[in-house]
Structure formats: structure tokens, C-alpha cells
Structure 1
Amino acid sequence: MNKKQLKEFLDAKVLQYNTPEFIESDPIQIPHQYNKKEDIEISGFLTATIAWGNRKSILNNSKKLMHLLDNAPHDYVMNASESDLAPLSSFVHRTFNGEDLHYFIKALRYIYSEKGGLEAIFSKYSTSTSTQGAISAFKKDFFSLPHPARTQKHVSDPSKNSAAKRINMFLRWMVRENTTGVDLGIWQSIPPSALSCPLDVHSGNVARKLGILKRKQNDGKALAELDKSLRKFDPEDPVKYDFALFGLGVFERF
């Protein structure tokens, strides 16, 4: 396929997969359960944090996590006492455990009480063409309180050559407009042009087969290469192609 044919092919796949049916098996269904801005943000951030591994397990554990937060994540984050936090110790998703969750709640409280919330931090450090520096800055703020060393691994850092798949996915959820009922689009302060594709094994493999990614590792350098390719197709909304790449990989075994 030449560039024009490839763009037409990918645009068609975006239309196919960027639909409400996508939500049925995707972790984005968790923040869709809420109406309050802060509830959407916090549930989305925590769900994205544990979004690796089996999708059914991700969904089940995300629902358990929201239940632990009384299905009112913002109120819980801001008002939970030490005794309220005790039940969190039972939570486990792969290597993310109760100790990590306990710190995440405290760090989120700090972010909302001292830093103006999640959107304020990311928008402060984002540019019109990138959120990668903002992710690194966010991680510094998020771990500015005393914390277990093990917990830092659960927030990726692009400055360390990470593709930061989960947090880029979270940003897609928050920023892209809710025109098709999939992404939530509650952040107006960051343009979709700044977003990066949530690069994982599925999207990476499909991108390589299509010739828009050459690098073999799914790391920060690969993400920069993929971003450059996708921006040639649509500089204003490059991350819409995440639906095409992911759908081709997961649903079509492309």
C-alpha cells in the first residue's frame, strides 16, 4: 500500500473500532460509570495503572478496586481515614498490591489538595505536540511524598525511554473528544495533537507489519517513531489510530 492507501485503510479501521461496542471489553468502561469529573479522572487513572495482562482480569480487578473505594473514588481519596485505608491491603493485580494502592491514594490526595488535580499537572507541562514531558513531571510530583521504592515502577517515565503505554492510554481517555461515545474528552486544556499512541505488543506488531514502525523494541524511541508516522496521517488527532492498530491486532489477529 502507498501512503494514501494506507491512510484510507487505517481511517476505515478507526471508524470500525472507535464505536461504543469497543467499550464492552475495554477498561475504559470503568471511568464511563461516573459523571463527576474527579471520579472519572481517578477511576480512569487507577484503572489504567493496572491495565496490563488478561483483559478479563483487568476488568474484574478494576471493579474490585472501585468497590474498595466505595464507588466514590474522589470522596474516598480526599476523606478516607487510616482505618478506612486498611481494607486496601487485600488488593492485588499482578505486581500491583495493597501497599502500592495505599500510597496511590495518599499521592492522589496530595495531587488534588496541593496541585490542583490531575488535569492541572498534565496541562501545565504539556505542549501542543507532546505530553511526554508532562508524564515525567507528573511522576516527580506523584512520588514527592515518602513512598515504598517498589511503588515507583507502576508509573512509567518517558525520560527513561519508556513507551508509557498505560498512562498514554489514560491521557487518550481524558483528552480525546467524546464524539463517538468511547473516549471521555473531559480535559479541554490539552489538545489531541499532543497525545501519543498507547504502544503495546498488539499495536506495535501491527504498526511494524504496516511499515510505519521499524524499531523492534516497544520503548520510548519506538513511540517517537510511531508518533511521527501517525502525525503524517492526522496531525490534529494522531491517536485515533490507536483504535485501528489495536483492533487489527486484538480482534483480527492481523
Structure 2
Amino acid sequence: MLSKPLRKRTPQGLWDLKPYLDEINDRVETADYISEDPVQFLHAFHQKKDREIAGFLAATMAWGRRDIVIAKVEDLLSRMQNDPYRFVMSYNQAEFSRLRSFKHRTFKPIDIHGILLSLKNIYSSYDDFESFWIKCHEQAKAENRPLMALFHHNFFNGCDDLANRTRKHVSNPEKGSTCKRLFMFLRWMIRKDSPVDLGIWDFIPASDLLIPYDVHVARQAKKYGLVSRKSNDWKTVNQLTETLKLLNPDDPARYDYSLFGMGALDYSLPKKFILNKV
């Protein structure tokens, strides 16, 4: 027997839900959130390039329990002498010994090696990491392809010493990925006037951000009828973002806080809002 399709909330139903989601956003998106989340590594540095590298590495490794992720990023940055930009620019094969015993889930030393070499190539060719993203954005618009597809291609394109397995650690929407970690990184870098997100980049507006779609967000989005698709894929994250744009056209990604809060931090909505059992 085929499982029942997901019920989708009506526009009026969304507006009924909005005050509750906004309230949870306000309770979750506070300065206290920083110390319990990998975003803390952006706040730990003051120079733009250090923040870019520390944030990108933290987001790339943000897979699994947050406390474990934080411990692993701390370990990696300590191996980089807590000087990420200088370490990246001076990185060579001789420095690989610092990484030999590093491991996080499926990340192995060879993967960190390839990512650091790719970052070194980018910083040797561009003013900063944001300038590289600008090129990817312009190319994506010209080719009518997703930004993250061009980022994935260009990130590794100039690196000669790269294990093929390393490419899987940077998502590609053209293979169906939701690109959760990349959009989380962009949320940190793009959103302004937030007690959590730094908002130090300007190459796209917050209205262009997609929701960082992880298992917590997926469960809540389905439970409360914010998506009609059951698959956790690129099409679904776009559908969810379009739904949330009806509530906040300028900043749909802010609802990542409420959906994550309901999924992982024990916040909840009244039972009357549940549309689907998941």
C-alpha cells in the first residue's frame, strides 16, 4: 500500500502559524546560541579572512552532534595554530604531518589536505573568499545553474593534489543535495543585524538564501505542512524556502532558527498545527 501524501498548509494556515514561528525565532536567535553552535568559530576571530576560513571549515564539518562538531573544529584549528589564514597560505606537503591523526566521521586527513590546498589556491587568486563566491554567483547567473553547483566545480578546479573522495565533502545540488552546510555557512556570512550571524558579506541579499535543510528542519517542515514532498533533496529545500518567503520575503532563512529549535532544542508548537505524522 502506498503511503499517504503529505498535507500542505494553506496560505491562511501559514499566517496563523507565523506568530508562533517568529516567537521561537526570537527565543532561539540570541547571543547565548553562539557558544553551543559551530558559528562560534567566526566570532572567535577578528580578521575577515580568518573568519571566512574558520567559518567554512566549521560549516563543512557540521555533521552530527553539535558538541562533537565543536570539539573537532577546535582540534583542527589548534593544528592550524589558531591562525587559519596564515596556515592556509603557508600550507604545503610538509605541514601535512599536523593533520595525520585528524578524523571526523568520514573526514580523513587527505580530505582536509585537499580542502586546505583548494582554499590556498583561491586566496592566491582572489582578494578574499567572498570575491571567489562573487565569481561563482556571476557564472551561475550566466549559465542559469544553481550557485552551489558552480561553487562545487570552481572550488576544486584549480587544485592538482586532490583525492577524488574529497569532492563529496562539498555538496552539489545538481546531484540532488540540499547543500545544508553550504547554506548554513552563507547564512552566517550574509544575514545582517543578527545576534548570531555575522553578516560580513554582501554579494547576495538575505532574500536569496535557502534554508539549511537538515534532518531536524526536514521533520518539522513535514510535520507542520510547510512542504508536500517527502524526499529530502534539492527540490524540497527550494519548496520550503518558497513557503517561508510568504512569511518573510526579505529573510526566509531566519526560520532555520525556529525549525531547528523545534527539532533539536525542545521548542514546540500547539498540537492543533500538526498536519502530518512523521
2:211 aligned with 1:169: no
Relative distance call for 1:189 and 1:17 in structure 2 (3 A) is same
* Runs of 4 or more above 4 Å deviation: none
Task: Give the secondary-structure state (helix, strand or coil) at the position aligned to 1:12.
Answer: helix
Per mean C-alpha deviation after superposition, the further-off stretch among 90-99 and 6-15 is: 6-15
Q: Is this contact kept in 1: 2:188–2:198, CA < 8 A?
A: yes
- Secondary structure of the 2:46 match is coil
Any residues of structure 2 matched to 1:142-181 within 5 Å, and which?
142-144=155-157, 145-146=159-160, 147-177=162-192, 179-181=193-195
Q: What stretches of structure 2 of length at least 5 have no aligned partner?
A: 1-11, 269-278
1:201 Cα offset (Å): 0.6
1:138 has 2:151 as partner: yes
1: CA distance between counterparts of 2:171 and 2:92?
28
So what's the TM-score if we normalise by structure 1? 0.94
- Give secondary structure in 1 for the equivalent of 2:62: coil
TM-score in terms of structure 2 length: 0.86
Q: Is residue 91–residue 120 contact of structure 2 (8 Å, CA) maintained in 1?
A: no
- RCO comparison, higher one (Cα < 8 Å, 6+): 2
Query: Contact 1:126–1:194 (CA<8 Å) still a contact in 2?
Result: no
Residue 212 (structure 1) aligns with = 226
The partner residue of 2:248 within 195, 209, 234 is: 234
Alpha-carbon distance between aligned partners in 2 of 1:85 and 1:31, rounded to the nearest angstrom: 24
Which stretch of the first structure deviates more once superposed, 92-101 or 244-253?
244-253
Kept after mapping to 1: 8 A contact 2:149/2:172: yes
Partners of 2:220 and 2:102 lie apart in 1 by 34
Number of the residue aligned with 2:7: none
**Contact 2:210–2:252 (8 Å) recurs in 1:** yes
Q: Distance in 2 between matches of 1:180 and 1:246?
A: 16
Structure 1 residue 253: Cα displacement: 6.3
Contact 2:91/2:117 (<8 A) preserved: no
Map 1:2-81 → 2, pairs under 5 A: 2-81=13-92
Task: Note the C-alpha offset of 1:85.
Answer: 2.7
Larger radius of gyration: 2
Over 3 Å counting, the alpha-carbon distance change for 1:217 and 1:211 in structure 2 is same
Report the alpha carbon displacement of residue 116 of structure 1 after superposing the two structures with TM: 3.6
Could you tell me the percent identity over the aligned residues? 39
* SS class of match (1:182): coil
Cα distance in 1 for residues equivalent to 2:131 and 2:74: 27
The AA in structure 1 aligned to 2:105 is: R
* Counterpart-to-counterpart distance in 2, 1:20 and 1:94: 29
The one of 236, 239, 246 aligned to 1:225: 239
**Is the Cα contact below 8 Å between 1:100 and 1:151 reproduced in 2?**
yes
**How many residues of Structure 1 are paired with residues of Structure 2 in the alignment?**
251
CA contact (8 A) 1:163 1:223 kept: yes
Superposed CA RMSD in Å reads 1.8
- CA distance in 1: counterparts of 2:117 and 2:229, whole angstroms: 38
| Counterpart Cα distance in 2 of 1:180 and 1:47 | 19
Say which SS state the counterpart of residue 236 (structure 1) adopts: coil
CA contact (8 A) 2:24 2:267 kept: no
The match for 2:276 is: none
Contact 1:166–1:198 (Cα < 8 Å) also in 2: yes
- Residues 133, 158 of structure 1: 8 Å contact kept: yes
Which residue does the alignment assign to 2:4? none
Contact (CA 8 Å) 1:89, 1:98: kept in 2 or not?
yes
Give the Å deviation of 1:140. 0.9
Q: Which moved more, 1:139-148 or 1:80-89?
A: 80-89
Q: 1:22-46: CA deviations, max 9, x gaps? A: 1121111112100000100100000
Is the contact made by 1:89 and 1:102 (CA closer than 8 Å) also made in structure 2? no
Contact 1:123 1:134 in 2 (8 A): no
